[in-house]
Amino acid sequence: MTTVIEVKNLRKVYKRTRKVAVDDVSFSVSEGECFGLLGPNGAGKTTTLEILQGLRSATSGEVTLFGLNWKQHETKLRSLMGGVMQHNNLYEKLKVKECVELFASFYPSYTPIDTLLERFNLSEKKDAWLSELSGGQKQRVFLAMAVVGQPKLVFLDEPTTGLDPTSRQEFWHIIKDLKEAGTCVMLTTHYMDEAEFLCDNLAIINSGQIIESGAPSDIINRTFETPVIKEPRKATLNDVFLKLTGSTMERESYA
Ligand X SMILES: Nc1ncnc2c1ncn2[C@@H]1O[C@H](COP(=O)(O)OP(=O)(O)OP(=O)(O)O)[C@@H](O)[C@H]1O
What, of ligand X, Mg ion, none, does residue 43 touch, CB below 5 to 8 Å by kind? ligand X
Asked whether position 45 contacts ligand X by CB under 6 A, the answer is yes
Q: Judged by CB, which is closer to Mg ion: 46, or 139?
A: 46
Beta bridge partners of 82: 154
Binding mask 176-215 for ligand X (x = CB under 6 A): ----------------------------------------
In angstroms, give the least distance from the CB of 12 to Mg ion.
13
What, of ligand X, Mg ion, none, does residue 39 touch, CB below 5 to 8 Å by kind? ligand X
Asked whether position 58 contacts ligand X by CB under 6 A, the answer is no
Binding site for Mg ion (CB under 5 A): 45-46, 86
Please provide the size of the chain in residues: 255
Residues 137-176 close enough to bind ligand X by CB under 6 A = none
Rounded Cα–Cα distance for residues 243 and 75 (Å): 45
Q: Judged by CB, which is closer to ligand X: 44, or 82?
A: 44
Q: Count other C-beta atoms under 10 Å from residue 230's C-beta.
A: 11
21, 51, 63, 85: which one contacts ligand X (CB under 6 A)? 21
Q: Judged by CB, which is closer to ligand X: 10, or 141?
A: 10
5, 32, 46, 194: which one contacts ligand X (CB under 6 A)? 46
Q: What is the largest CA-CA distance in the chain?
A: 54
DSSP annotation of 121 = T
Phi-psi domain of 206 (left: phi exceeds 0; alpha: psi -120 through 50; beta: other): beta
**Residue 157 CA: distances (Å) to CA of 105, 192, 224:** 23, 14, 28
In angstroms, give the least distance from the CB of 19 to Mg ion.
14
Q: Where are the alpha helices (DSSP H) in the chain?
A: 45-52, 70-80, 96-104, 113-119, 135-147, 165-180, 192-198, 216-223, 237-244
221, 57 in Cβ contact below 8 A?
no
In angstroms, give the least distance from the CB of 207 to ligand X.
8
Instruction: Report the SS3 class of residue 19.
Output: strand
For the chain, state the CA radius of gyration. 19
Binding segment (CB under 6 A) for ligand X, from list 34-42, 62-70, 168-176, 231-239: 34-42
Binding segment (CB under 6 A) for ligand X, from list 25-33, 42-50, 98-106, 170-178: 42-50
Enumerate binding residues for ligand X (CB under 6 A): 14, 17, 19, 21, 39, 41-47, 86
